[in-house]
Amino acid sequence: DVKVTQSSRYLVKRTGEKVFLECVQDMDHENMFWYRQDPGLGLRLIYFSYDVKMKEKGDIPEGYSVSREKKERFSLILESASTNQTSMYLCASSPRRAAYEQYFGPGTRLTVT
Amino acid sequence: AQKITQTQPGMFVQEKEAVTLDCTYDTSDPSYGLFWYKQPSSGEMIFLIYQGSYDQQNATEGRYSLNFQKARKSANLVISASQLGDSAMYFCAMTPGGGSYIPTFGRGTSLIVHP
C-alpha cells in the first residue's frame, strides 16, 4: 500500500525556534512537495523537489527551506518560526511523469506561539 | 502564470442526486493537465480524476466525471448519485505543460450531502 508519512501530527513551537518537518515516502517517487493549507486559501506550494538534492521554489517559499538528501525523504525547515507560520503542512509525492497524481501524507498541524 | 478559480465556497446536495462543482482556469500554456482532489474531514487528500488538455473525451472515474470545456477554460467536476461519504472539501488543480511539475490548487469547495 502506498505510503507517505510525516514525522508529527501535531507540533507546538515557540517563536524563533528552528523547526524541522520530516516526510518519508515508500513509493520510489521522484517528485516530492511541501504545501501549507489555510482555511479559505486552499493548498499553497512552498517547495518542490524533482530529484535528490534538487529543489524549486513554490508560491510561498519565504521563511522556509528544504532538504532532500535521499530520494525517500523530504524535509521542510522553518529557520526561525513565526506566528504567521501556524498552519497545516502537507507533504506529497508523485511519479515524475504524473505530477498530478500526488499521494499525500496525513499532515502536520503546526502551532507557533 | 496559471490560476485556478473555484467560485463556490459551499454546496449542498440531496443524497442520490448529481452535483456539479465549478472550476475555471487560466493559463497561457498550450499543454496542461487538470485534476481534482477530495479532502474528507479526516484530512487526507485523495486524488479523484485527471484530464489532459489534448484529451478529446471527458475523463470519467466511476461516479466522477470531469466536464472539460476548453474554449470556456472550465473543468467542472460532476458527481453522479451522491452519497453521504461524498461530503468533503473538493479541490481543483492544474499542472502546466512543458515538463514542469509544479501544480496550482484552487481554494476548494465544501460539499455537504444531505440524507
Mean pLDDT by 10 residues, chain B (115 residues): 91 97 93 94 92 92 96 96 97 81 89 96
Instruction: Evaluate whether B35 touches B93 at the Cβ level (below 8 Å).
Output: yes
Where does residue B71 rank: exposed (0-12), middle (13-18), buried (19+ CB within 10 A)? exposed
Q: What is the pLDDT of residues A12-24, one digit of tens each?
A: 999 999 999 999 9
DSSP B40-82: -TT---EEEEEEETT-SS--EETTEEEEEETTTTEEEEEE-S-
**AA identity, residue B114:** H
- Which residue of B lies nearest to A30 if distances are taken between CA atoms? B101
Chain A hits for B108, CB-CB cut-off 8 Å, are: 42
DSSP chain A: ---EEES-SEEEE-TT--EEEEEEESS--SEEEEEEEETTTEEEEEEEEEETTEEEE-S--TTEEEEEEETTEEEEEESS--GGG-EEEEEEEE-TT-TTS-EE---EEEEE-
> Diameter of chain A by CA atoms?
40
Q: Does B1 touch chain A (CB under 8 A)?
A: no
CB contact under 8 A, A102 and B33: no
Q: What is the pLDDT of residues B98-110, one digit of tens each?
A: 666 788 999 999 9
| Residue B99, pLDDT score | 62
Q: What is the pLDDT of residues A49-72, one digit of tens each?
A: 999 999 999 989 999 999 999 999
Instruction: Evaluate whether B12 touches B20 at the Cβ level (below 8 Å).
Output: no
On average, the pLDDT of chain A sits at: 93
CB contact under 8 A, B47 and A58: no
Instruction: Evaluate whether A36 touches A109 at the Cβ level (below 8 Å).
Output: no
CB contact under 8 A, A101 and B47: yes
Query: Which pLDDT band, with edges at 50, 70 and 90, does A96 fall under?
Result: confident
Q: Does B49 touch chain A (CB under 8 A)?
A: no
A57 to chain B, closest Cα gap in Å:
9
CB contact under 8 A, B43 and A107: yes
B66 to chain A, closest Cα gap in Å:
14
What DSSP character marks residue B98? T
- Separation CA A87–CA B93 (nearest Å): 20
Where does residue B94 rank: exposed (0-12), middle (13-18), buried (19+ CB within 10 A)? buried
B81 to chain A, closest Cα gap in Å:
25
Instruction: Evaluate whether A113 touches A12 at the Cβ level (below 8 Å).
Output: yes
CB contact under 8 A, B45 and A41: no
CB contact under 8 A, B101 and A41: no
Q: What is the pLDDT of residues A36-45, one digit of tens each?
A: 999 888 899 9
| Residue A1, pLDDT score | 67
The cell numbers describing A89, all together, are: 503542512
| Residue B56, pLDDT score | 87
